[in-house]
Chain A
Amino acid sequence: KAGVTQTPRYLIKTRGQQVTLSCSPISGHRSVSWYQQTPGQGLQFLFEYFSETQRNKGNFPGRFSGRQFSNSRSEMNVSTLELGDSALYLCASSLGSGSHSPLHFGNGTRLTVT
């Protein structure tokens, strides 16, 4: 089975711009979660989608949004980028929603905001 695929791998944007990141989960996985990873803050939960519905949301401003399509692929969007948004954005898929399903992470998208 192919793993979780995230595109693009690297992105450089300037402040004020917006960005869209894409995630294709493992075939058959219906849950997709997004995490922001920075050296100082570790892995911060952004949101989780299951069957096209947002099931859970972390403590991030409204500039961060996401969606999931009927084929379980997911996108996250960050608008009005700030320097502090520079991070590795990780997507993880799982069979079920939330608690008892192990997360399978993609390689991430490294976003640099200048």
Chain B
Amino acid sequence: GQQVMQIPQYQHVQEGEDFTTYCNSSTTLSNIQWYKQRPGGHPVFLIQLVKSGEVKKQKRLTFQFGEAKKNSSLHITATQTTDVGTYFCAGNNRNNNDMRFGAGTRLTVKP
């Protein structure tokens, strides 16, 4: 079945440092979505990428979708304490509309 792998599992950074989380799928995806879950909260939708090679930005966040539509990344520039949380990717299988979440990357930021 479809597997969505996400690394790293944990990332601890000093405030102001950059952060990147990577997502890889065993199958070609129709699209990929990114979510953020604050501690004690629920996942909140951030963005969706659909096109091969697509890059989208939201302020300090940059999202990329690979050319083969099998991998994606989320990069945060100059992290802030408000960025703390777990970031999940969720890939949709092109063939069966099956959405699978990555295990998430838990980001902690030291002020």
Contacts and interface: CB of A to CB of B under 8 A. Distances in A.
Interface of A: 33, 35, 41-45, 55-56, 59, 90, 92, 97-100, 102-108
Contacts, number: 57
A42 B48 contact: no
Specify which of A43, A92, A107 lies most central, judged by the most chain B CB atoms within 10 Å of its CB. Answer: A43
Given A42-B102, A43-B88, A43-B104, A99 B43 contact: no
Interface string B35-69: 10000011111001010000000000000000000
A105 B43 CA distance: 6
Q: Which 7 A-B pairs have the closest CB atoms?
A: A98-B97, A43-B101, A99-B92, A102-B45, A42-B103, A105-B42, A99-B97
Interface residue range, chain B = 20 to 34
Interface in B1-51: 1, 30-31, 33, 35, 41-45, 48, 50
B42 A100 contact: no
A56 B30 CA distance: 16
A52 to B, nearest CB: 18
Given A99-B92, A102-B48, 16 more contacts: A33-B99, A42-B88, A42-B102, A43-B88, A43-B90, A55-B97, A56-B96, A90-B43, A97-B97, A98-B97, A99-B97, A99-B99, A100-B92, A104-B45, A105-B43, A107-B42
A5 B48 CA distance: 24
Contact of B30 (A59, A99, A107): A99
Given A43-B43, A43-B88, A43-B104, A56 B97 contact: yes
Contacts of B41: 107
A59 B44 CA distance: 24
Contact of A103 (B1, B31, B43, B104): B43
8 contacts: A42-B88, A43-B104, A44-B101, A56-B96, A56-B97, A59-B1, A98-B92, A107-B41
